[in-house]
Amino acid sequence: MIASPTLCPTERGSTLPTNKSLLTPIVLLTTALCFPVLTSAATTVAFLGDQGTGSDARDVLSLVAEEGTDLLMIQGDLGYADNSAAQWEANLTDALGKDFPVLTIVGNHENYEWPTYRSYIQQRINRAGELSCTGDTGVKATCQFRNIDIVQVAPGINEVAGVKSQDNYDGYIRTSFSDAESRWRICSWHKNQNAMQTGSKGDSTGWGVYDACLDAGAMIAMAHEHAYSRTYLLSDFANQTVAHYGSDMTLEPGKSFAFVSGLGGREVRPQKRGGDWFASIYTATQGATHGALFCHFEATTADCYFKAIDGAVPDRFVLRLPDANPEPVVVASAPPPPQVSAEQSGFVFSRTDKEEFRWIEQDDAGRWGNIRIDAECAQRLGGATRSGDWKALITLSPEFDAAPLPCSANTTAASTTESETVQADIPATGEGFVFSRTDKDEYRWIAPGTSGQMASVRIDKQCADRMGGPKSQGRWSILMQLAPDFDGISSPCSTAGAVSPDTASSNSVTFNIGEGYVFSRTDKDEFRWIDRDASGQWGNIRISRNCADQLGGATVSGRWSTLMRVSPGFDAISSPCS
C-alpha cells in the first residue's frame, strides 16, 4: 500500500545492480524514485521461487508476512526433495497462516510429490474467498484475485509426471486474456529462455509464451535461475527490443517486461550473462541474498520493489495501466468481407501494432478463430483485407489460435526463397530430418510425435552431423509450419552415447546403455550418479566424493549443460550409496 512515488535526489554513491557492466553495479548520480508514506489501500503481491524448506526459505516467508502481503505467488521449485511437501506447507502456515492465499506453478523440482503440493495449493485457493482458479491449477490455469488476472502455464517442464512441456500454452494465454477489461495481467511460469535470465539456463520455453503475454500487455513472472533480474519495458522478447528505458513502465498490448525472482531460499548463484535489456540484476556477484519482489497494485498504478531479508532494496519501479477510457476501437461488426471466396472461407488480418499476419476463419459452430501465418502465406491468400491492433483482432476473432492453417507446411516451406532449394530433400512424412534455423545458430530434429503431429527438439551440431546434416532450413515461422509441436519429441542422439568434445573434458567417453556411472562437474566441485529410473528415463542424483570413489570414480565429466543433456531427470533417482 504505497502512494505514487516522486523524484528526489539520490546520494552520490548509491548503487543499483545492473548489467551495464556485466559483473559490477553502476553508480547512480542523478535521481531515484522516492516512495512516501502509505496512503491508500492496495493489493500487495509477493513473487518468489526456488525455495526449499530450510531457514533461508523461512526467513523469506517471514519477510512476505512483514511486508503486508495479500497474495503470494511462487514460480516453482518448492521443497526440492522427497517427503518435503508437508514441511513446505507447514512453513507457509507458520509464517502466513492456514488460510493465506498462495498460488504456485509447477517447477522442474516438483518431480517429487507434485500431486501433494498441488493439493495443498488447491485447498488454500478453496479457503481464500477472493481467489478463484479454473483449469489445472499450477500447470495450465486462469486465476483471479481482486483486480488481477493470472495465467499459469508450464512450458519446458518435462521432469514431472503428468505435466506436458508443450501444450499449446501460448494459445491458452491468448484465449485467457482475450477480454478487453482493464485489469492487471500476470503470466506465471517457472523456466526461462537463456536471454531472459542471468545465469547458465538454456532455452527451455520457446518464445511463443512470451509473445502471447506481450500481446496481452501482461507482466511475466519466472524463477528457475537462483537470482533476481528484471528487463526494461520490451516490445519484442525474442530480439530483446527495448521500448522504454526507465523505471516507470506502462503495460499495454505489445509492451511488457519479464522478471526472475528466484531467491526464495536455495543457494544464490553468480551472474554469468547480461544484456542491455536488463534494468536490474541482483546475483551473488552483486552480493545478493534471499528475498522477494513485492508489487502494490492500485486501480491503474503499481509500485514494485525487490527486498532482501537483510533489508537491501536493489530494484524499484512503477507500473501503469493504459488510459482506462481509450478511444473506442472501430471494427467491422460482421466479417469477413463479401468478396472472400467460398473456397477460402476466411480472410487475412494484418496487425498494425507489430509485424504479424493472422488468418481468420469461421468454424462449423459460427465461432471466429484465428491463426498466425507468415507473410508469404498472407500474400498467396490475397493479402490483408482487414488491419488493426491487438484489440481489433480479438474483437473480430476471440478464438485465438483456433483456426486451421490455410497454407500447408510443405507449401509454405517451398514458397520461401530460403527454403525452396532444400525442400526437395525433406524426407517423406513419417521420417525425421534435421532443420537448420536461418534466424539464429540452432539445429532442430523434426519427426512425428506420439500423437502423429510433427514435432521438433533442439540438437547440437554434432548430433545434426550424425543425422546427415540439415535437409531443410528457414526462419522460426517456417519451423513452426513444419513442426508446430515445439520440443514435443526426444533427441535422436542417445544421451547415453559419446559426450561431445566441446562440452566435456573427455574427448569420446562412452558407456553401455543401462549401466549407471559417475559424472564429475567441471563448473563446480560436485559428483552426480547417473542411471535410468523405473520408467527407463535417465536421471541423476548428487553423491559424495567417497561414494564416487566407491563406484570407480568419474566416467564422464562436463559442465551443467552437459549434465542436463545426458541426464535431464535432475534428482530423479536414488543414491547408489547407502
Question: By three-state DSSP, how is residue 261 classified?
Answer: strand
Q: Tell me what the pLDDT averaged over the chain comes to.
A: 80
Longest dimension (CA), the chain: 77
Rg (CA), the chain: 25
Cβ atoms of residues 388 and 357 within 8 Å: no
Of the listed ranges 164-168, 475-479, 508-512, 551-555, the one predicted with least confidence? 508-512
Q: What angle do helix axes 114-127 and 85-96 make, rounded to 10 degrees?
A: 30
Least confident of 5-9, 136-140, 211-215, 253-257: 5-9
Set out the domains of the chain in order of their start, with CATH numbers.
47-320 (3.60.21.10), 346-400 (no CATH), 411-486 (no CATH), 517-570 (no CATH)
> What was the pLDDT predicted at 181?
65
For 492-523, give the secondary structure using H, E and C.
Answer: CCCCCCCCCCCCECCCCCCCCCCCCEEEEECC
Q: Report the alpha-carbon distance of residue 7 to residue 126 in Å, rounded.
A: 42
Give how far the C-alpha of residue 316 lies from the chain's centroid of Cα atoms, to the nearest Å.
22
CA distance 130 to 143: 10
By the 8 A CB rule, do 259 and 220 touch? Answer: yes
Residue 14 corresponds to which cell in the numbers above? Answer: 548509491
Per-residue pLDDT averaged across 461-468, rounded? 79
State the Cα–Cα distance between residues 59 and 81, nearest whole angstrom. 19
Angle at the Cα of 208 from the Cα atoms of 354 and 167, rounded to 5 degrees = 145
Query: C-alpha grid cell for residue 65?
Result: 508476512
The DSSP symbol for 270 reads P
pLDDT of 503 > 90? The answer is no
pLDDT interval class at 134 (50, 70, 90): very high
Q: How confident is the model at residue 365 (pLDDT cuts 50, 70, 90)?
A: confident
**Phi/psi of residue 383, nearest 5 degrees:** 80, 175
Residue 303: per-residue pLDDT: 95
Distance, in Å, from the CA atom of 158 to the CA atom of 165, rounded to the nearest integer, reads 5
Average pLDDT estimate for 123-149: 94
Which three cell numbers mark 124? 488454500
537 and 158 in contact (C-beta within 8 Å)? no
∠ CA 189-192-198, rounded to 5°:
130
Q: Residues 54-73: pLDDT tens digits?
A: 999 999 999 999 999 999 99
The whole-angstrom separation of Cα 69 and Cα 304 is: 12
Share of the chain above pLDDT 90, in %: 43
CA distances from 131 to 73, 115, 143, 313 (A): 12, 20, 7, 29
**Looking at residue 69, what is its pLDDT?**
96
Strand residue runs (E) in 401-507: 433-437, 443-448, 454-459, 470-474, 485-486
In contact, 432 and 445? CB cutoff 8 Å: yes
- What confidence score (pLDDT) does residue 2 get? 36
pLDDT digits over 43-52, tens only? 999 999 999 9
Query: Given 3-state DSSP classes, what are the helix, strand and coil percentages for the chain, each rounded to the nearest 5?
Result: 20, 30, 50
Cα dihedral angle (226, 560, 238, 192), rounded to 10 degrees? -40
Q: Which of 120, 115, 176, 117 is nearest to 148 (CA)?
A: 176
Output the nine-digit C-alpha cell for 262: 528466484
What pairs with residue 433 in β-bridges? 446
Q: Which residue has the higher pLDDT, 40 or 165?
A: 165
CB-neighbour burial class of residue 333 (10 A; exposed 0-12, middle 13-18, buried 19+): exposed
Tell me, what's the pLDDT at 558? Answer: 79
The answer to whether the beta carbons of residues 276 and 241 sit under 8 Å apart is no
Range ranked top by mean pLDDT from 53-62, 380-389, 512-521, 562-571: 53-62
The three-class DSSP label of residue 196 is helix
